[in-house]
Amino acid sequence: MRCKDLENTFDGWTGDLAHLTVLRESLSCYISAEDLSVLQERIELLHRQWDEICHQLSLRRQQVSEKLNEWTVFNEKYRELCEWLTNMESKVSQNGDISIEEMIEKLRKDYQEEITVAEENKLQLHQLGERLARASHQSKATEIEQKLSKVSDRWQHLLDLIGARVKKLRETLVAVQQLDKNMSSLRSWLAHIETELSKPIAYDTCDFQEIQRKLDLQQELQRDIEKHSTGVASVLNLCEVLLHDCDACATDAECDSIQQATRSLDRRWRSICALSMERRLKIEETWRLWQKFLDDFARFEEWLATSEKTAALPNSSGVLYTVAKEELKKFEAFQRQVHETLTQLELINKQYRRLARENRTDSSCRLREMAHDANQRWDNLQKRVASILRRLKHFISQREEFETARDSILVWLTEMDLQLTNIEHFSECDIQAKIKQLRSFQQEISLTTAKIEHIFHQGEALIEKSEPLDAAVIEEELEELQRYCQEVFGRVERYYKKLIRLPLADDDTEVSLSDRELELDEPCDLSSLPWSERLGDGFLSPLPSSGRSASLAAQLRTERSGRDTPASVDSIPLEWDHDYDLSRGLESASRALREQQSEEGDFIQRPASALSDVVIPESPEAYVKLTEQTLRSST
C-alpha cells in the first residue's frame, strides 16, 4: 500500500518536474550563461535523482510484490511437488508394456534422474517454507511446517517404494529366469522321455526272459518319471504364481507365454505318464498274445504231427477192393478233419498278422517261421490227402465201372432170357414172327459184343492190377458172365436153328408147340452164327487166370457186393414186360394143347395139364416164379 501511495505522489511530482523545465526555458533569456549552465546542471541532477527514486521505488515495489507472492509460489510449488510424487509413485508401481529388465533399468536411471531434479525443487520448497514460516505469524508457520513435513514423508515413501519395487522386480526376474531354466531342463528331459516312449518295442526273442527284460527297462523309465514329478510340480506352481504376478505378466504376450508353457508342460507330463503306463501294459499284453499264439501253435503242431504220420503211410496201394473202400471213407473223413482245422490255422494266421501289424514280433523271426511252417505243412498235408484220395478214387472207380458195366450186361442178358422164354412158351406169334424176333436178338447180340469184349478186357486188366483175392473174385465174376452169355446166346442160336427147320403152317397147333420138342434135337454149333466168331475170340476162350485157386473165390463169395450167379434169376433184378399179354398167351396155349391131346399123347398131355389151371400173375415177381415153374416142368 505504501508503494502505491509513493507512486501516486511521484505521479504528482512528474508535472512539477516538467514545469521546472518550462521555467528554465523562460529564464534562459534573463540570466547569464553561467547561471543558466548551473541551473541546467541542477535540473539534470534533479532528473537523475528522480530516475533513481523511481527505480528504487520500482525495486521496492517488486520486492514487496515478491514478498507478497511467496505464499502463492510456495503453494504452487507444493502442489506441483505433490503431483509429481503421486505420478512418480504410480509410474514406479506399474510396469506398463515393458519387461522387468527395462523396468529395473528405468528405476535405476530414468526415474533416478527425475528424482534428482525433483529433489532440488524439494529443497527450494523447504527453504521458501522456512522463510515464510519465519516471516509469518504462528498459524501460518504451523501450516507451512505441516506441508513441509508431508512433502518429506511422501518423498521418503517414494524412495522406499522405489527400493521395494526394485527388490521385488529383481526377485521376480530371478523367478522368471529360474522358471526359464527349469522349463528348459524339463523340456530337454521331456523330449528325451517322449523319444524313449515313442520308440517301438523291439523284441529279440519271443520268450519270457525277453518280456522281463523289456519290463525292467520300462520300470527304469517309470522311476525316472516319478523322480521328476516333484520338479514338474514346482514348475507348475511357479507358473501359477507368476500368472498372478503383475510384474511377471505385465503384458498380454508374457501372460499368454506363461499360460502356454504351463498348459504344454501339464499336457506333456500327463502324456508321458499315460504313455509309460500304456507301454508297460502293451508289453504285458504282448506276452499274453505270445502265450496264446504259442499254445495254439503247439496244439496245431501236435495235430499236424499226428496227421502227417497218418498221411505218410496210407493203405492205398496193393490192397483189397473192400479195404480200399474203407480206406477211402477213412481218408474222406480225414480230409474233412483237415479242412475243419483250417479255421484253427486261420486263427493262428490272424494272431500272427496282429502281432506283425502292432510290431510285436521278434527280430529272430521265430514267430514268422512258426506261422509259415504251420501254413506250409498244412498245405502239404492237404495236397497229400487229396493225392491219396485221387489214387483211391481212381482205383475204386475202375472196379465200380467194371461192376456197373457187368451188371448192365447181366440185366440185359436176363431180359433177353425172359423174352426168349416168352417166345418159346407163351407167344402166340407164328414161326415167321418168332424168327424175326430171334433175328433182332442176334442183331442186338452183335451190337453188344464189343461192349462185352470191353468188359472182359477191363476185367483182365483189373485182375493183373488187383490183389490175389480181388483177382479171384473178378475172375469168378467173368466166368459167371461168360457162362451166362454162353447159356443165353446158345439158347438163341439153338432155338433159331430149330425154327428155321420147321415147315411153315397156318395151324395154330404147330405154332404153339413147346420148346421141349426142339430141345430134344441135337444141339447146333454156335460158330455157325454170323456173330459167334467175335464172341468166341473175345471171351469164350479160357481166361488167362483161369488156373487160379477156386478156393479163393469161394472164400470171397461173402465179400462181394450182393451179387450171385448170373444164371440165378433170384439174384438178378428182372423187369416186367407190360407190353406182353400173359393171360392171352396162356389161354391160347391151353386151347391148342387140348386140341392136340389125342395126337401127342403123354408128352403133350403133361404141359396141357400144367397149363389147365394157370393163374394170371399180377406182379413181375409172380411172373418170374411162374416162368421158373414152367421151365422146371418142361425139363
**How confident is the model at residue 515, as a pLDDT?**
42
Give me 288's grid cell. Answer: 499274453
Res 133: pLDDT: 80
Q: Give residue 591's pLDDT.
A: 45
pLDDT along the chain (635 residues), means of 10: 58 64 69 72 77 76 68 83 85 69 72 81 84 77 86 87 79 79 87 90 91 93 90 84 67 74 87 92 94 95 93 78 86 93 94 93 92 94 92 88 92 92 84 88 90 91 86 91 92 89 54 39 39 38 37 39 37 38 39 41 34 42 56 54
Helix %, strand %, coil % of the chain (to 5): 80, 0, 20
Buried b (16+ CB within 10 A) or exposed e, 56-90: eeeeeeeeeeeeeebeeebeebbeebeebbeebbe
Q: Which sign, positive or negative, has the C-alpha torsion 613, 614, 616, 618?
A: positive
Q: Alpha-carbon distance 428 to 163, whole Å?
A: 153
State residue 504's pLDDT score.
53
Task: State residue 386's pLDDT score.
Answer: 93
How high is the pLDDT of residue 630? 55
> Residue 558 has what DSSP assignment?
G
pLDDT computed for residue 611 by the predictor: 33
pLDDT of the residue at 63: 66
Instruction: Check residue 70 and give its pLDDT.
Output: 74
Long-range contacts of the stretch 2-10 (C-beta < 8 A, 24+) = 3/57, 3/60, 3/61, 3/64, 6/57, 7/57, 7/61, 10/53, 10/54, 10/57
CA 193, chain centre distance (Å):
30
Cα angle vertex 601, ends 596, 603, to 5°?
Answer: 95
pTM of the model: 0.55
3-state SS assignment for residue 362: strand
- The identity of residue 499, as a single letter, is L
CA 40, CA 555: separation in Å to the nearest integer?
A: 197
The DSSP line for 188-214 is: HHHHHHHHHHHSPPPBSSSSHHHHHHH
- pLDDT (0 to 100) of residue 56: 79
Residue 14 pLDDT: 66
Rounded Cα distance between 466 and 556, Å, is 14
pLDDT the model gives residue 571: 35
Taking the C-alpha atoms of residue 508 and residue 505, their distance in angstroms, rounded to an integer, is 8
Spatial separation of the C-alpha atoms in residues 99 and 164, rounded to whole Å: 17
Residue 575 has a pLDDT of: 39
Tell me the three state secondary structure of residue 318.
coil
| Angle of CA points 457, 461, 464, to nearest 5° | 140
